Structure 1
């Protein structure tokens, strides 16, 4: 296995600057963010271009995956078409770079029931899978509920549970396994990983901190009244690996035992180690010091 991180945590930095710093800190790979450049959405990173391969090679880094995590089932048909078009461009660029993985979400049409969404996905998504397969690329889906996409905070990415992993596997998708989401959903990430290793093609390393006393006041669906943001739960928050509840020693051991030899990519969404590029880098240093001794 090799340790890397997702470049989305440094949206204002160039890939060259990120790669130089990453190599100096002992990282071996980058999961390169590939959202469309949009000045109206400065939090989305756009680090993938024609120079990506040269930049990574110059710094001795591998490309673990191309990252474009969007809603493939969006209810706005015009926006959905744009998302699909950009995803195909990501596939083309990944293939040109010799990278077999593109990360995304399944998503959800929030105007439809889950059952209706499953049928919608079965109609809409196989052509995207076929497009990628023809170019030697597969999609790896992160198991984040994306509850902030739903007006009532319900899961809006139909890939958040082992039940749904088996379903998406039947459509030709694979898993970008992130244990942090499972913890707050009440799913043991070690057990879930051990039972689904055949679907795992990429791993994202993110931790989560739980406040059981606050959960007693809100329930698992989180804060509803006077909610400051769609992404506020009131009782849990994402953390850097090693600062939360995930048993990384056991998780990495299960990966090794199962024969996984791919990438573990830190996804930095820790609010404590955010706010400035310097704070983000400090968080990535903590993650590297936590995980590197486990990855040999």
Structure 2
């Protein structure tokens, strides 16, 4: 496992500035946004796809800073009921797969997408009234599986893995929904595990990782905090905009602010147990400025790793 950071959390920096920042804080892995919701501030999948020289320049830029380009991010909604949005996000993701293959980047990260009608998203998450359950199955049968089956096959042919983030608001949001799509599409499709989104759903991230096993392709480092007084009033399905963070029942935070070191250690231990060797990518969407929060998260994760090594050493000494 290698500590990395999601470059889209540094939108006000050029790529060179972002890379200098990461190295200054001993972060030597990069998840690079190339389209969709993350945008194209640092790189554009459509300009990279099919342009070997552009891909080589990007790869060399990262290497010259001593940073490994570990994943391309193209989070979007290719199933959006607005055809213009769907087409844009679909084109970005397909280009990202081609660019990743050219640069020998193993993983492209994204969302499963979420269909709807009349240009409006429809995310059914309850089985009654029966119309919700019927709509859920219709979306999987008519939209989700037909879209991802050929795209997963294309990724397999290119030697690239697709990591879908388990995120509320999208069809694939849990271990169970990820497994269902993977069974339909094949092993080139797997999960991007962000513990914050799992805790929000009441899912234990360590157990989720254990259930997913070798389907874990990418990991985000992000926590979630709950405000009990607001939770009692608004509940988990609080639709207060994220911009009004002070009013929300829950909000995103750096690792350790919502769940303690023991909880995060359990996540790392489980990743070790499934032989995960990819990126631990810092994603920041909390209160503090990103330049402060990313550096603080890197220090906290290194301290956590150091505690783990010291504990292992003490255990080994005691046993011997």
Ranges in structure 2 where 5+ consecutive residues have no aligned partner: 49-53, 123-134, 307-320
**Contact 2:77 2:90 (8 Å CA) reproduced:** no
**Contact 2:100 2:107 (8 Å CA) reproduced:** yes
1:220 Cα deviation (Å)?
2.1
Which residue in the other structure is 2:144 paired with?
121
Residue by residue, what CA displacement relative to the aligned partner does 1:37-63 show, whole Å, maximum 9, x if unpaired? xxxx9x734322523201110011111
1:182 Cα deviation (Å)?
1.1
Which residue in the other structure is 1:22 paired with?
22
CA distance in 2, matches of 1:110, 1:216: 30
What is the aligned counterpart of 2:292 among 279, 282, 289? 282
Which residue in the other structure is 2:177 paired with?
164
**Contact 2:238 2:249 (8 Å CA) reproduced:** yes
Which residue in the other structure is 1:276 paired with?
none
TM-score (norm 1): 0.86
TM-score (norm 2): 0.80
Which residue in the other structure is 1:178 paired with?
194
- Compared with structure 1, are the counterparts of its residues 235 and 163 closer, same or farther at alpha carbon in structure 2 (3 Å cutoff)? same
CA distance in 2, matches of 1:197, 1:127: 24
1:179 Cα deviation (Å)?
0.7
Residue by residue, what CA displacement relative to the aligned partner does 1:167-208 show, whole Å, maximum 9, x if unpaired? 122223210111101112111111111111221011111111
- Larger deviation: 49-58 or 90-99? 49-58
- Compared with structure 1, are the counterparts of its residues 206 and 19 closer, same or farther at alpha carbon in structure 2 (3 Å cutoff)? same
Which residue in the other structure is 2:130 paired with?
none
Root-mean-square deviation (CA, aligned residues, Å) is 2.0
Which residue in the other structure is 2:275 paired with?
259
What is the aligned counterpart of 2:254 among 240, 256, 259? 240
SS of alignment partner, residue 238 of structure 1 = strand
SS of alignment partner, residue 13 of structure 1 = coil
Largest Rg, 1 or 2:
2
Aligned length: 272
CA distance in 2, matches of 1:135, 1:235: 42
1:110 Cα deviation (Å)?
2.4
Residue by residue, what CA displacement relative to the aligned partner does 1:149-173 show, whole Å, maximum 9, x if unpaired? xxxxxx3x11211210111222232
- Compared with structure 1, are the counterparts of its residues 124 and 230 closer, same or farther at alpha carbon in structure 2 (3 Å cutoff)? farther
SS of alignment partner, residue 116 of structure 2 = coil
What is the aligned counterpart of 1:195 among 203, 206, 211? 211
SS of alignment partner, residue 283 of structure 1 = helix
Ranges in structure 1 where 5+ consecutive residues have no aligned partner: 146-154, 274-278
User: Which runs of 4 or more aligned residues in structure 1 lie more than 3 Å from their structure 2 counterparts after TM superposition?
Assistant: 227-233, 293-296
CA distance in 2, matches of 1:134, 1:35: 22
**Contact 1:11 1:45 (8 Å CA) reproduced:** no
1:7 Cα deviation (Å)?
0.6
Which residue in the other structure is 1:205 paired with?
221
CA distance in 1, matches of 2:84, 2:107: 26
- Does 1 or 2 have the higher relative contact order (CA < 8 Å, sep 6+)? 1
Which residue in the other structure is 2:51 paired with?
none
